[in-house]
Structure 1
């Protein structure tokens, strides 16, 4: 989970640097292709023999991958990395609260939400489109968690993720041809988009699939509250966005929330193993 969250935000910051040349659509297109190229040889996905109950989450992920990535990067281009990722976090936060039956999980999710608010110090904005795109990404991310967990229980290894990534890349081929015919990419923009694809798609998708086989959905949802932290740090280091005192305070609250959840789950796992 830690690998997924760090890699995702560093990749997003790298991809944002290519926006002036190829825009969010161009970055997302290359990201989809890179993900398929990396995961397909590893997992050897096959479309033959898939059952109906396996096809449903795969098709769902094809839609979610496209909507989640395009809406998030559109939001990043309009309202900035930290704010976009923070709003996107509402998706897994809702999953964490809705799927929990324990007070401590709900309390930790609320603490993480407070940390997110303190971190970003949100105020009035006129960019309704940017906010709407971030909220759409949040919805897609919540659905992604549930679909990925479901698919991980139906297909072994990374076959489900690789199959969905391969189909997503195929869907994006005509979109990419039309887009790059108008927006000519430079070598550097392609390099940045490829790095984004590796760090924000290939690595997180694989890590998430493996993690969701081992941890409850609510723990995964709460742990993803680290993403605004990494987004703020990536924006500071790679996009030269300085952090204010309230942002450091928000980071502390979010880390505390995740420490509480992780420590409790690890202790429960150790007790189970001991028995």
Structure 2
């Protein structure tokens, strides 16, 4: 799920506290918001690393299935979405999100299993960057797209030893993330708050439940693997949701978008510390170029305006 694509970055719970917003927050409150953003991104990537440690026992499919179910079990009672009375115009983006959630998570985790956390997450960031650049005619943004393309070449270092399948899976996750941004924006105009995202999460978990049963019948899970997958769901979905929701009350949406660009760096660090996945100099250089392009594009509207519009942020799936 993604609090950034709810109308004006708010859910029903934020509407209950209009006295605190990014425009009225004090310097100390903004500082607290920055800390929350850092905690959110660190939690997100640490959770992904923990999920990856369960791959030997239950594979990427098992981790994704558990994560989807955990997210729905926590999110549904919080949002309490309605399932009856939804129109066709509301249902089609919801069902689109169900497909996107599944594709995005499975392709990303399969990519992590092949090319590592840092590389996979960095390539996935090309999705929202492409959406942002496609909606702009500014030469600077087009230049950022070129810079990101150079970053991809430097990062992947094409050659006979390149894991083409792993890179392709990460790029598929990027396409899914870009589609998520567009679908969630549409859904945010047709349903209040996070209701549409919660419905999509519930349906996704329902669809993954029989897959999980069959998968675990073939791949016998261990208690540790299930624990790690549950931790992945909590740390990569629920904890960032809470932190992002609180942060968006304290910092401008554009600043939030800029700070999400640190995720590939956190992913590389989490992969190094928890998964022992080291990166070469050219990989760090490629990550730096892609992160820089994201920072420039997301920070373009950082100057105060009459109405702040939330940019595309990272999904919580």
Residue 248 to residue 132, structure 1, CA distance change in 2 (3 Å): closer
CA contact 1:226–1:254 (8 Å) conserved in 2: no
1:70, distance to aligned residue in structure 2 (A):
1.0
Partner of 1:185: 221
Residue 232 to residue 157, structure 1, CA distance change in 2 (3 Å): same
Identify which of 294, 297, 306 aligns with 1:272. Answer: 306
Q: Which moved more, 1:69-78 or 1:130-139?
A: 130-139
Correspondence 1:15 to 2:51: yes
Aligned length: 266
1:242, distance to aligned residue in structure 2 (A):
2.9
Identify which of 70, 88, 96 aligns with 1:34. Answer: 70
1:157, distance to aligned residue in structure 2 (A):
1.6
Stretches of structure 1 that go unaligned for 5 or more consecutive residues are none
Matches within 5 A, 1:50-199: 50-119=86-155, 121-125=157-161, 127-199=163-235
TM-score normalised by structure 1 residue count: 0.83
Residue 147 to residue 125, structure 1, CA distance change in 2 (3 Å): farther
Structure 1 distance, partners of 2:134, 2:232, is 31
Residue 34 to residue 75, structure 1, CA distance change in 2 (3 Å): same
Residue 131 to residue 271, structure 1, CA distance change in 2 (3 Å): closer
Residue 31 to residue 244, structure 1, CA distance change in 2 (3 Å): same
- Bigger fraction of residues in helix: 1
1:215, distance to aligned residue in structure 2 (A):
5.8
Q: Which moved more, 1:97-106 or 1:152-161?
A: 97-106
Residue 264 to residue 135, structure 1, CA distance change in 2 (3 Å): closer
1:107, distance to aligned residue in structure 2 (A):
2.6
Structure 2 distance, partners of 1:243, 1:137, is 21
CA contact 1:89–1:224 (8 Å) conserved in 2: no
Structure 2 distance, partners of 1:230, 1:63, is 27
Structure 2 distance, partners of 1:263, 1:56, is 32
Stretches of structure 2 that go unaligned for 5 or more consecutive residues are 5-36, 308-317
Structure 2 distance, partners of 1:109, 1:260, is 10
Q: Which moved more, 1:242-251 or 1:17-26?
A: 242-251
Secondary structure of the 2:190 match is coil
Structure 2 distance, partners of 1:172, 1:203, is 22
TM-score normalised by structure 2 residue count: 0.73
CA contact 1:89–1:138 (8 Å) conserved in 2: yes
Q: Which moved more, 1:32-41 or 1:226-235?
A: 226-235
Partner of 1:43: 79
Residue 48 to residue 234, structure 1, CA distance change in 2 (3 Å): same
